[in-house]
Amino acid sequence: MAKIAPAPCLTRVSEVDGNRHEGQKTGGRRKGTPDRVTAEIKAALQLHGDELVDGLLALTKSDDERVRLAAIQTCFDRGWGRPAQSVDLGVEVQITSIERTIVDPRVIEHEGG
């Protein structure tokens, strides 16, 4: 398995202009590119899927109720998906109307100059 490199520091020196850019990441994987290490771990664990499920199911019978609850919750999360989470922002919103507007792009271009 590949070694995991330490997290890079947030101050980087640009290869283009030689200046330091605080907090800006340069280089690395492009967006959407899978992480090779994560993919390797996932593939290795999937080879032992039956064993892992058996172990998880055995934990649902544990004498420690915290372990039992965590195992049962994990089974539900994996088997049926996690429940949707709602967020209470403390603000009451009431929708009074929904309006659909179709705009002719030629009119916008003409008005803009």
> What angle is formed at CA 22 by the lines to CA 20 and CA 26, rounded to 5 degrees?
75
Q: What is the mean pLDDT of residues 19-35?
A: 66
Q: Supply the range of the domain harboring residue 71.
A: 47-80
Name every residue whose Cβ is closer than 8 Å to that of residue 50 and which is 6 or more positions away in sequence: none
Strand partners, 22: 11
How many domains, the chain?
1
Residue 53 lies in a domain: yes
Residue 32 lies in a domain: no
Residue-averaged pLDDT of the chain: 77
Q: What pLDDT is recorded for position 3? A: 57
pLDDT of residue 77 exceeding 70: yes
Name every residue whose Cβ is closer than 8 Å to that of residue 45 and which is 6 or more positions away in sequence: 52
Residue 71 lies in a domain: yes
Residue 90 lies in a domain: no
Q: Position of tokens 């590949």?
A: 2
Residue 62 lies in a domain: yes
